Amino acid sequence: MKVDRRTAQGGYTIIELMVAITLGLLIIAALTTIFVNNSQTRDEIERANEQTENGRYAIQLLTDELRNAGYLAEFNPALLSLPATTPDPCATALTDLKTALPIAVQGNDNAASIPTCLSDVKAGTDIVVVRRASACAVGATDCDPLITGAPYFQASGCTSPAELSSPNVANYYGLDVDTTKLTLHQKNCNPPTTPGTLAPLHQYRTHIYFIANNDQNGDGIPTLKRAELGASGFTTVPLVEGIENMQIEYGIETATPTTGVASVFTADPASYGGCAGAVCVGYWRNIVSAKIHLLARNKKQTMGYTDGKVKTFAMGLNADGTANTIGPFNDAYRRHVYTSLVRVNNTAGRNTP
């Protein structure tokens, strides 16, 4: 008897293969969708966190700067006469720097006129100038070393006739780029027999904060920047990306006698109450607090999101007392407003009875 050794062969039909491929593609598509959505969500969370960090950092930076505005070691600039006109923020000559000493804080509302040492300033945003000495004296631990050619401030603590007892206020302090000319003393002095110890040197700073249209040239990322007075004039430094707008209201003390508390807030002390000339300069001198409003924006747009055609952002008051609202933008950038009320410690402290 002959046996057939052939065995039955089995396999998938073309229809079964097509069904399997289709199911596989559906699963891959679902997994891809989940991955893309998770990736977009992660990116959006990262953008939101970055915006929050940038907004808070920018507010803190400006808050700390304004708190220190007008710091001149042991010297009280209230003894100085006011300049006849508002100082030029970009001035670098020593005579101009000394003239500006009484004005610790100075602003420019909505970039109405742009200082010559600034560029790429975003239209409609405020500019604020802070003048002060560094709180860190040359030679102190962890402080910056002496920078040749930079301006330095020195306050006398001496009661000798040649210094603090002199009727000339200009002898109470020194401000120069040549530190060999800064020869004032601390309290332990009795010139000329016992010269005593020289008073510490503090780098003198003029910082101009503004909003630029770009971080790097042409990148379209609005950025908080600072122009810094140094050995070779002003140098602009980018500080915080994504800060799209800055609006500041200044608290002016108009009460007599002074109390160190703001009597009124205005976005433009240079025009408050229809002032002119020295009266306006006096308002700048009497700034004791400030309200800072910053609008922070994501650096990248969010897919599928729109800021809307009616959404606006409240940023304090305009100089005429009306609400200062920014927007609508009608784009795909997410935004948030950060606000801080700051006491200008040095001016307010001097005005406190």
Alpha helices (H) in the chain, listed in sequence order: 14-68, 94-99, 278-285, 345-351
Stretch (H or E) spanning 203: strand 202-212
Q: In the structure encoding, which two tokens stand for residue 130, read together?
A: 């802070």
Q: Which residue has the tokens 């962890």?
A: 142
At position 313, the amino acid (one-letter code) is: F
311-314-318 Cα angle (round to 5): 125
Residue with tokens 């780098």: 203
119 CB-near residues (< 8 Å, 6+ apart): 212, 236
344 within 8 A of 67, measured Cβ to Cβ: yes
pTM, entire model: 0.87
State how beta strands 152-155 and 127-137 pair. unpaired
Task: Please report, for the chain, the start and end positions of each structural domain, with discontinuous segments joined by +.
Answer: 46-74+81-132+206-351
Strands (E), 213-318: 223-230, 233-241, 243-252, 264-266, 287-297, 313-317
Which residue type does 110 have? N
Tens of each residue's pLDDT in the chain, 353 residues = 555 555 556 667 888 788 888 888 888 888 877 767 766 667 777 778 889 999 999 999 999 999 999 999 999 998 899 999 999 999 999 999 999 999 999 999 999 899 999 999 999 999 999 999 999 999 999 898 999 999 999 999 887 766 766 678 888 899 999 999 999 988 877 655 566 789 999 999 999 999 999 999 999 999 999 999 999 999 999 999 999 999 999 999 998 888 899 999 999 999 999 999 999 999 999 999 999 999 999 988 887 788 777 889 999 999 999 999 999 999 999 999 999 999 999 999 988 87
What is the residue type of 88?
D
